[in-house]
A and B are shown apart, each in its own frame.
Chain A
Amino acid sequence: MEIVMSVAIGLLFMAAVYLMLSKSLIRIIIGTGLLSHGAHLLLLTMGGLGGTAPPVVADGVSVSDYADPLPQALILTAIVISFAVTSFFLVLAYRAYQELGTDNMELLRGTEDYE
């Protein structure tokens, strides 16, 4: 399963980077969204996908049966932070639209001659 997941993660990263390299601001933001999904799955896979019980203490479950709780804690933090960053980006892009009337990065590069 981990190998399949690794390939899927690579695919997510590939799509994310490809989107981030595009001209359109919204595609860049969608790219960062995909990137965080990829990173979350990467964390999960790194810890291993084994474990037969969720990491909640319960009677009759031995310690080795729990899924690894550490990646989950990390991912939980990462989800919240990526949400904060995404919404910040969104408002930034939204304001750039309003002020500049474009979301094309080629047109947002500042003045042509800055000497």
Chain B
Amino acid sequence: MSLVFLIFIPILAALFIPLLFKRLGQIHTGWFVLMVPAALFSYYATRLPSVMEGGTYVSEFSWIPSLDIAFVAYLDGLSLLFTLLITGIGALVVLYSIFYLDKHREQLHNFYVYLLIFMSAMLGVVQSDHLITLYLFWELTSISSFLLIAYWYTRDRSRFGALKSMMITVFGGLMMLGGFVLLSVMGGTYSIRELIAQAPELAQHDFFIWALVLVLLGAFTKSAQFPFYIWLPDAMEAPTPVSAYLHSATMVKAGIYLVARLTPIFALSEIWMWLVAGVGLFTMLWASFFALKQKDLKGILAFSTVSQLGLIMSLLGVAAAAYHVEDAAETYLKYAAFAAIFHLINHATFKGSLFMIAGIVDHETGTRDIRKLGGLMSLMPVSFTVALIGSLSMAGLPPFNGFLSKEMFLTAMLSLQEFEMFSMDVWWVLFPIIAWIGSVFTFIYSLYFVFHTFAGKHQPEELPKQAHEAPIGMLISPVFLAALVVLIFFIPNLIGDWLVKPAVAAIQPFLYDSPQNVDIHVAAWHGFNTELFMALGIFSIGGLMFWTLRKWQHLYDLYPDAVSLNRLYDEMMLLSGGGANRFSRIYMTGFIRSYLVYMFSFMTFIVLLTLFLTEAFQVDFSNLAPIGVYEIVILLAMVGATLTILGAKSRLTAIIALGAVGYSVALLFVIFRAPDLALTQLVIETISVALFLLAFYHLPQISRKEERMKFRFGNALVALGVGVTMTLVALSAHSQKALPSISEFYKETVYKEAGGGNIVNVILVDYRGFDTLFEIAVLGIAGIGIITMIRLRLTKKEGQHENK
């Protein structure tokens, strides 16, 4: 089957979920869903051997050919690794969710539909070679993440967290789109592979820096880097399977993926290296430091995820340095990319298991507050073992996979001393130091997570539920992941050959032709070197600080909430919402007069501008009708009546004056040889005046207090503008005949074609019969409207009586 269609299999499966949930409600819907990622995982795993040899697969489906937009599935080492993570962890998470979400109480169809949409979107992100469809899938992950965080949408915190993650990641996504567009403008193609091929030329382009910064904004918001990480802790309101899947193993790694994927394009830039490595490392330190402030189990894990993502990000930054060194494959700089990918895999295993344990603790005790927990070790022995393995791996202790990648992380940071460009020769020393401090805090929060939950004194009176071990089914996934954590420690080179090296070759194609050329051997023991002493330092200092944690943890409370990034976000949201509201209030006054003023002023402006820009204004004196005495007298009467309306004190005067204007117009029609118009006008005017008088003079409710209209200069100005415009339009319209009038045709054919003598009547009922029909329809609609309005009163009054 074509690879590109495989991406859409989860979304297609999602179509059947509501049906399965409604029809087969007694079977947990998750069992059906489980088949999707499991089958996809098995299928993609069969591609592994050839990708390991450096093979790639491309499959294309043209979507909008006219805009050169296509779905392109490109499978190489990097995308295959992510694909396997998405489907593999996906299967485990779905299995876990079957026991986590109750089939009777939860809206399972919603949950699994969102989850499957996410799965397709994420597969699309990591497999797309086309920038525009990559962006499409990228935003789809944000949307499905929004839906999943807000899954328990009746909770305020869920909705808040969902909105926050949406605002921040979609903001980043839009920036990234800008970067993509710039890239395609520079390279003339949307294909990432083709862009990579012309990387040296791209680096010379003026837009290069802009594209770089914009793309990084997208990656940093998605991967929760400082200062955008604030959405991730709030996203923990999602059900725990979602946190384990989206917010630790897959979606938050989309930013990592993007940075890794685009490294061959951007690595030539000094700014790229400084930004990626610097922001990543700072994020690692910042988040590990604040993880200890958290009281919520999932809060600790959220900060730890942010910190670990920062770690991987910084490694990718260092990996970019290899582009600037001759024979980088011979130096220690080669370790950075390998360490990044290796740690990404390890993080998925241990963090996935830890999240699941946090969910189990929440599920079985009813709380995630670490202050209420403690002493669960004897009650939940399996969970404790899994949590211990995960935490110690996260802390970087042997014999767990975290130890290996942590050592390699330190190696990579130390390797910067070999790098002498970009003022690194001065600043390189900061990198290992910050990495070391971050690792110390990582060590402390790992122990804090596991021991403050499972060791210490059990407080059954604080727990909403009687604590007990989770059901077997719920433990399968975390136990499996914990087993991997240990297993990978013993077979790191197998993992390296199968998964890491193909991905590294994709990140650094200029360094390695094929995955076999990646000459890195992972070993737990490599003698007494700097890394080992740094690790020993981490364990001893970290252990000591953890021992005394209770004495200094309250120092975190001194940190004022008022200056936090969360506060900044809240203020910005308030400001933008309130600001937009206030801004529209300035012009949306609620007065119809204001709106009319806008319309009239704009119309005047546009018409006058067009008249003068196109030089349409001209007056032709040659073809004027003579001025007659009667006409002048009638016009004067009309003007006088108009002025009377303006100055009238009583409504009656105004109505009668309006009638006078109407009759003057009728007389003008007589003079200008329009007998039909004159007749109609006379009839209509009479009825109108009668109607006016009926409606307003004989109404008892009218207040007798009537006053003359006050003069308003602004209104007068607008009115004057409209009046002058209309005069100019009338003059120009009369003076110019760009096209011969169709009137001549009517005059000539009226008798022989239509057999009528009254040209106006024939036009109305014959030539333009449909117009007249619609005119009658308008009259009918107005009549129905009038009747309805009058009836409305009657029914409403009856209703009021009934209520009484």
Contact = CB atoms under 8 A, between A and B. Distances in A.
B586 interface: no
A114 B123 CA distance: 44
Interface in A1-60: 1-24, 26-30, 33-34, 37-38, 40-42, 44-58
Contacts of A17: 600, 718-719, 722-723
Interface in A51-95: 51-58, 63, 66-70, 72-73, 75-77, 79-81, 83-88, 90-95
A66 B716 CA distance: 40
Range of interface residues on B (Cβ < 8 Å): 35 or more
A10 B743 contact: no
B593 A23 contact: yes
B596 A72 contact: no
B730 A45 contact: yes
Interface string B686-717: 01100110011001011000000100100110
B734 A63 contact: no
A91 B691 CA distance: 9
Nearest to A92: B789
B724 interface: yes
B760 A8 contact: no
Given A18-B719, A30-B655, A94-B696, A105 B627 contact: no
A17 B674 CA distance: 27
A83 B592 CA distance: 22
Contact of A105 (B592, B625, B750, B772): B592
B35 interface: no
B751 A57 contact: yes
B673 A54 contact: yes
B719 A14 contact: yes
Given A17-B600, A54-B674, A67-B672, A87 B782 contact: yes
A92 B764 CA distance: 30
A77 B775 contact: yes
B665 A4 contact: no
B784 to A, nearest CB: 10
A79 B726 contact: no
A90 B709 CA distance: 20
B658 interface: yes
Contact of A69 (B600, B623, B743): B743
B731 A3 contact: yes
A97 B746 CA distance: 47
Contact of A68 (B645, B722, B725, B743): B743
Contact of A21 (B631, B643, B715, B793): B715
Given A2-B625, A10-B726, A54-B675, A87 B688 contact: yes
Nearest to B735: A2
Contact of B759 (A28, A40, A56, A75): A56
B741 interface: yes
B527 interface: no
A94 B758 contact: no
B759 A46 contact: no
B735 to A, nearest CB: 8
Contact of B619 (A3, A4, A29, A106): A3
A5 to B, nearest CB: 7
Contacts of B792: 95
Given A18-B715, A88-B785, A13 B759 contact: no
Contact of A77 (B592, B631, B712, B772): B772
Contact of B691 (A5, A11, A46, A90): A90
A97 B699 CA distance: 9
Nearest to B662: A37
B747 interface: yes
A56 B778 CA distance: 28
A6 B730 contact: yes
Contacts of B782: 84-85, 87-88
B763 A75 contact: no
Given A1-B624, A73-B768, A106-B591, A53 B673 contact: yes
Given A21-B715, A90-B691, A92-B789, A109 B590 contact: yes
A57 B742 CA distance: 17
A63 B744 contact: yes
Contact of B665 (A29, A40, A86): A40
B733 interface: yes
A14 B632 contact: no
A58 B725 CA distance: 39
B695 A93 contact: yes
B786 A70 contact: no
A11 B639 contact: yes
Which residue, A8, A16, A23, A44, has most C-beta atoms of chain B within 10 A? A8
Contacts of B748: 63
A69 B726 contact: no
Contacts of B724: 10, 14
Contact of B734 (A6, A13, A77, A101): A6
A10 B668 CA distance: 16
Which residue, A10, A55, A63, A68, has most C-beta atoms of chain B within 10 A? A55
B679 to A, nearest CB: 10
A30 B645 contact: yes
Contacts of A68: 741, 743
B597 interface: yes
Which residue, A28, A50, A56, A67, has most C-beta atoms of chain B within 10 A? A56
Given A9-B730, A42-B730, A90-B691, A4 B741 contact: no
B697 to A, nearest CB: 10
B790 interface: yes
Contacts of B744: 63
Which residue, A85, A90, A106, has most C-beta atoms of chain B within 10 A? A90
Interface in B650-681: 651, 654-655, 658, 661-662, 665, 668-669, 672-677, 680-681
Contacts of B799: none
B771 interface: yes
B676 A72 contact: yes
Given A2-B625, A21-B719, A27 B709 contact: yes
B727 A6 contact: yes
A92 B691 CA distance: 13
Nearest to B782: A84
28 contacts: A3-B731, A4-B627, A8-B638, A10-B723, A12-B723, A13-B719, A16-B719, A17-B723, A29-B692, A33-B658, A33-B661, A42-B726, A42-B729, A44-B669, A46-B730, A46-B734, A55-B674, A55-B759, A73-B764, A75-B677, A79-B684, A86-B691, A95-B790, A95-B793, A97-B701, A98-B699, A105-B591, A110-B590
Task: Kindly list the 4 A-B residue pairs having the minimum CB-CB distance in the complex, ordered from nearest.
Answer: A14-B723, A10-B727, A18-B719, A84-B782
Given A11-B723, A77-B775, 6 more contacts: A11-B639, A44-B674, A49-B672, A57-B757, A84-B779, A99-B793
Interface of A: 1-24, 26-30, 33-34, 37-38, 40-42, 44-58, 63, 66-70, 72-73, 75-77, 79-81, 83-88, 90-95, 97-99, 101, 105-106, 109-110, 115
